[in-house]
Chains A and B, each alone.
Chain A
Amino acid sequence: MIFLKRQTLSNISRKIVSGIIVVYQWTLSPDHGVLSLYTTGVCRFSPTCSEYTKKMVKQHGVIKGLKKGLKQIKDCH
């Protein structure tokens, strides 16, 4: 059994989640990836919701960061 320090575990999970967000940005996002060539900008925030969420996850951890990101997405719907 391998024991990981809490700190390392948190770091790994932050990296995984922000990695998923990057994959989203390059594929489905209307503002960042391939599709951005065909839109005139969809997200009204700057930084965009995905960019903001990514930053918050890196800064505050997965749960707090995702909460902050979701709040911003909710603000515009």
Chain B
Amino acid sequence: MDILLTIFNNLIFQPIVNLLVIFIDILPGANLGVAIILVTVLIRLALFPLSYKALKSQKELSTLQPKIKEIQKKHKKDKEAQSRAIMEFYKEHKINPFSGCVPFLIQLPIILGMYRVFLTELEPGNIEGLYSFVSQPEYINTMFLSINLAEQSLILAILAGLAQFVLSKTTFSQKKKIGKTKSGSQPDFQKIMGKQMTYILPFITIFIARSFPAGLVLYWFTTTVFSFGQQYSINKKFED
């Protein structure tokens, strides 16, 4: 467990802290809010190829869905023969194989790292673990659009909840379009919780976000908006 924590600290946490401090150093007025937005967007852009590949092959898959269903029906009794036949079908149609759950899952520790960084209170002149080429900021301006990022903010929490609602709404209609909501094997969570979860979760987000420092909530809001933009741009690109 200790090793995992050290790896997380050295590989994910510290680099993000340093990146954030670099932006604070460079930005006029040492504005923490702008720095948080820039770090979030930069990291999400770096992760973009991973999500892009996954989303792209999902699009390709959805057009081939009827044929896959046929194969599934053909090998209804033997699950192993079914998976083998499907894999061969993918190979035949040259669907990029590197697009399963791994590209998605390796993003999670980085997203968790950002969460940890924006939760820590940065004390100017007393930030630990800075690299030798990163100078200690003398002053950090935590005011952003008249919101103090070191304190809680209800407005920002509501904005984060709202953004989340819009994102899950568009994802849902996207799923409907490619016919993923009805297929038996897909999200059991949604089967159990039903559509209302789309409405409940944003409220949970607001309640939780309200008790956290607004800096973290600003990250949450930015990353949600980024996800939305990412999905939107890919949808646009692949619509025929």
B interface residue numbers (CB < 8 A to A): 54-55, 57-58, 61, 72, 79, 83, 86-87, 90, 97-102, 104-105, 108, 167-168, 171-172, 174-175, 178, 180, 183-190, 197-198, 201, 227
Docked complex Cα distance between A57 and B215 (Å): 43
| CB of A5 within 8 Å of the partner chain | no
| CB of A20 within 8 Å of the partner chain | no
**Ranked 3 nearest A-B pairs via Cβ:** A46-B185, A76-B100, A36-B187
How many A-B pairs have beta carbons closer than 8 Å: the answer is 89
Would B83 and A75 count as touching, CB distance under 8 A? yes
Would B186 and A31 count as touching, CB distance under 8 A? yes
Known: A31-B186, A31-B187. A42 touches B201 (CB 8 A): no
Known: A37-B201, A38-B167, A40-B174. A46 touches B72 (CB 8 A): yes
**Which of under 10, 10 to 19, 20 to 34, or 35 or more describes the interface residues of A?**
20 to 34
Known: A38-B167, A45-B83. A28 touches B174 (CB 8 A): no
Docked complex Cα distance between A29 and B197 (Å): 16
Could you tell me the distance in whole angstroms from the C-beta of B124 to the nearest C-beta in chain A? 36
Residues 36-77 of A, flagged 1 when their CB comes within 8 A of B and 0 if not, give: 111111111111110110000000000000000000110111
Docked complex Cα distance between A43 and B227 (Å): 19
